[in-house]
Amino acid sequence: MLFWYYKNMHTVVVGGGFAGIKAALELSKHELGRVTLLSDRDYFLHHGSIYAVATGCPPDAAMVALDDIFAPHPNVKVINTRMTSIDPDRKLVVCGDHSYDYDKLVLALGSELDETQKSTHRHIFGVCGREQITAIHEHLQNSIINDHYVDRQYVIVGGGATGVELAGALAYYVRQLVEQHLAEKIKVRITLAESSERLLPRASHEASKYVTKRLQTLGVHVATNTRVTPHDDEFVTVDGRKIPTETVIWTTGTKAHSFYKSHPHYFDTTSKGSVIVNPYLEAYRNIYVLGDNVEGYGSNTIRSALDMGEYIADHLWRQETGKLYTPYRPSSASFAVSVGDDWSYVEALSVYTTGRLADWMRRRIVAASYRKIMSKSMVDAAMQAHKIKNPPE
């Protein structure tokens, strides 16, 4: 009877990021019945590689089709749709007009970016998904390569990992495009604005110090304790000073996914919106929450998302087959950030490395995290794409 149940169990996983993909792949390996993966994107997005695609690498450096990832796993059905609500009493996931029944529901929705600023200024670019990242790339290409025009001021808002990586990559990329496509030498100013007193405010002081120094070496103007506000379509205000710009890249405002807070009957959330789960990552009867948004157990990193995905599949398998199971234990994650070509800062267990060696280590970390959810050939293709700039259309 037990065997029949678990072989016929239906698990619905929502979210095609690191946590959701890992959970679905592991459930498939455990042959734990049917698995349906619902994702509002038909591709997986590696947030940590957004800077590469924005500055000239092909999209494959950061995005991989979910269908390709799951091609060798026919017992996982991938559906491109957006979950709008849930009905746990009837065990249903609702996606607009459609609903999907489940025995177990795994939610891995990731974080959201606050997009309010973006809508107030024509030249503000976001970093949320394929369209936005491609828009940054096309904007740079169109102005410099096609129109032979370079914006004198580039403003990146937010000195977290994304802002830092974009500033470093942009410093190289814009200089390279200007040299190749413009006749005269033009001085371009790249400002990285952060409202806290240091860059990478959530990382160690060493990380802030070395990364700031490196950015300054690349000619990036690092403005800490600085707030940027959109002024009108032509200007932003950087600490009270009006700056004319057509390129503002807004990377701040990451917050917990609003879905949980908007379903208070089923989820206990903190004031910041992260979800309170039991030691087995269960938030409500038969509903589990993974990845970003998990209060207390997660570190909002790729490592944490992958660990949770792996844990939940093993946990469900153990639970359903009557085996002993243990609570989820978070492991410590490394921190790696790239700043311009061939230079990174990597920190693990309070030991840090910078420069080329760190860059090699960072690439290994990225490849290892990809490898947890992709075949070797797909990982090789994604890593190769990081080395290509401005591929022909």
Ligand X SMILES: Cc1cc2nc3c(=O)[nH]c(=O)nc-3n(C[C@H](O)[C@H](O)[C@H](O)COP(=O)(O)OP(=O)(O)OC[C@H]3O[C@@H](n4cnc5c(N)ncnc54)[C@H](O)[C@@H]3O)c2cc1C
The window from 28-36, 212-220, 297-305, 342-350 that contacts ligand X (CB under 6 A) reads 297-305
- Nearest distance from residue 164's CB to ligand X, in Å? 10
Token digits of residue 136: 């940054």
- Nearest distance from residue 180's CB to ligand X, in Å? 28
Binding of residue 292 to ligand X (CB under 6 A): yes
Count other Cβ atoms within 10 Å, centred on residue 123. 17
User: For residues 109 and 243, which CB has a smaller minimum distance to ligand X in the complex?
Assistant: 109
Kindly list the distances between the CA atom of residue 109 and the CA atoms of 233, 239, 341, 377, in Å, as whole numbers in the listed order.
33, 34, 32, 27
Token digits of residue 317: 């398998």
Binding of residue 273 to ligand X (CB under 6 A): no
Binding of residue 73 to ligand X (CB under 6 A): no
Contacts of 284 (CB under 8 A, 6+ apart): 88, 266, 267
Give residues 346-365 in contact with ligand X (rule: CB under 6 A). none
Q: Which one of residues 82, 242, 356, 387 is an interface residue with ligand X (CB under 6 A)?
A: 82
- Nearest distance from residue 153's CB to ligand X, in Å? 23
The window from 28-36, 201-209, 294-302, 380-388 that contacts ligand X (CB under 6 A) reads 294-302
Q: For residues 236 and 147, what is the distance between their CA atoms, to the nearest angstrom?
A: 23
Could you give the string, one character per residue 169-208, with x where binding to ligand X holds by CB under 6 A and - elsewhere?
A: ----------------------------------------
Q: Which one of residues 230, 273, 291, 340 is an interface residue with ligand X (CB under 6 A)?
A: 291
Binding of residue 109 to ligand X (CB under 6 A): yes
- Nearest distance from residue 292's CB to ligand X, in Å? 4
User: For residues 32 and 93, which CB has a smaller minimum distance to ligand X in the complex?
Assistant: 93
Q: Which residue, among 233, 227, 245, has the nearest Cα to 120 in the 3D structure?
A: 233
Contacts of 134 (CB under 8 A, 6+ apart): 53, 59
How many Å separate Cα 262 from the centre of its chain? 22
Give residues 252-271 in contact with ligand X (rule: CB under 6 A). 254, 259
Q: For residues 151 and 141, what is the distance between their CA atoms, to the nearest angstrom?
A: 12
Binding of residue 283 to ligand X (CB under 6 A): no
How many Å separate Cα 53 from the centre of its chain? 13
- Nearest distance from residue 337's CB to ligand X, in Å? 7
Give residues 33-62 in contact with ligand X (rule: CB under 6 A). 38-41, 47-48, 50
Q: For residues 252 and 169, what is the distance between their CA atoms, to the nearest angstrom?
A: 18
Q: Which one of residues 37, 64, 69, 83 is an interface residue with ligand X (CB under 6 A)?
A: 83
Binding of residue 168 to ligand X (CB under 6 A): no
Q: In 3-state terms, the chain is what percent helix, strand and coil (to 5)?
A: 35, 25, 40
- The pair phi, psi for residue 228, each rounded to 5°, is -110, 135
